[in-house]
């Protein structure tokens, strides 16, 4: 059986300049904090980040924003991070805003191998700019295309030794769908247990999706 365990430093070294990276978390809850800290140390730059929000300047994804390592964000919310707002206003970073449900479904479509989905959300707003509009039975819909990444970085509560993951409470957020939509998936776990110690019905991300496991260190 392949050993999937790597250090946070090794995980961060897999993220190269210019990559597209999915990072789990909701206001930094369910984010891979050890890996993010090592990415900040490494100084990898020009990243495109796909995430629910940009957290806070001193926490989660916000650390990468504050350190000016990100050139583009595909997200649903930036209001809790003044660094993101300032860089956006100064044209130092580009942001593609998505309604939260649309963002999640675009990621899910990539994981499911779908070409996209149709939604009425965003019709008549800035969200529809540059997108294909399709009329079905007299109602307009936007074609929203899949979102895929080079690497997905997840934050899990528990992992077993082969990468079956459990997320406690709201830490689940975007992590399960992101696990299906990237070429490399790295899960940072707060706790690691032996295979068989997790009840199968509690597994939210199956080990087949997880390339590497990091034991959380901070």
Q: Are 85 and 75 in contact (CB under 8 A)?
A: no
Which element (helix H / strand E) includes 187?
strand 182-193
Which pLDDT tens digit goes with each residue over 54-73?
999 999 999 999 999 999 99
Tokens of 70: 């990100």
How many CA atoms lie within 13 Å of 18's alpha carbon, on the beta-carbon side? 0
Average pLDDT of span 24-47 = 96
For 39, 125, 129, 216, the CA distances from 11, given in Å and listed in that order, are 9, 39, 36, 12
Residue 191: which H helix or E strand, with range?
A: strand 182-193
- The end-to-end CA distance of the chain, in Å, is 28
Chain length of the chain:
218
Q: Which domains does the chain have, with CATH numbers?
A: 17-97+148-215 (3.40.1080.10)
| 99-148 tens-digit pLDDT | 999 999 999 999 999 999 999 999 999 888 899 999 999 999 999 999 99
Give yes or no for a contact between 121 and 142, defined as CB atoms under 8 angstroms apart: yes
Tell me: the pLDDT tens digits for 147-180? 999 999 999 999 999 999 999 999 999 999 999 9
In angstroms, the CA 72 to CA 88 distance is 10
135-144 core/surface letters (b: 16 or more CB in 10 A; e: else): eeeeeebbeb
Alpha-carbon gap, residue 51 to 106, rounded angstroms: 12
Asked whether residue 218 carries a pLDDT value surpassing 80, the answer given is no
């Amino acid at each position: 059986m392949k050993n999937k365990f790597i250090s946070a430093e090794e995980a961060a070294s897999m993220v190269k300049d210019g990559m597209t990276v999915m990072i789990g978390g909701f206001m930094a809850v369910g984010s891979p904090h050890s890996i993010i800290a090592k990415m900040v140390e490494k100084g990898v730059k020009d990243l495109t980040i796909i995430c629910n929000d940009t957290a806070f300047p001193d926490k989660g994804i916000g650390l990468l924003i504050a350190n000016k390592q990100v050139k583009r964000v595909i997200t649903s919310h930036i209001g809790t991070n003044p660094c993101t707002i300032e860089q956006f206003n100064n044209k130092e970073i580009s942001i593609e805003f998505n309604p939260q449900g649309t963002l999640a479904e675009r990621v899910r479509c990539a994981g499911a191998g779908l070409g996209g989905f149709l939604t009425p959300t965003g019709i008549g707003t800035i969200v529809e700019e540059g997108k294909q509009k399709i009329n079905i039975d007299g109602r307009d819909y936007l074609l929203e295309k899949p979102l895929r990444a080079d690497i997905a970085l997840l934050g899990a509560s528990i992992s077993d030794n082969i990468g079956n993951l459990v997320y406690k409470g709201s830490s689940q957020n975007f992590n399960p769908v992101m696990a299906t939509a990237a070429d490399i998936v790295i899960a940072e776990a707060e706790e690691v247990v032996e295979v068989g110690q997790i009840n199968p019905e509690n597994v939210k991300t199956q080990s087949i999706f997880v390339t590497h496991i990091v034991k959380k260190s901070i």
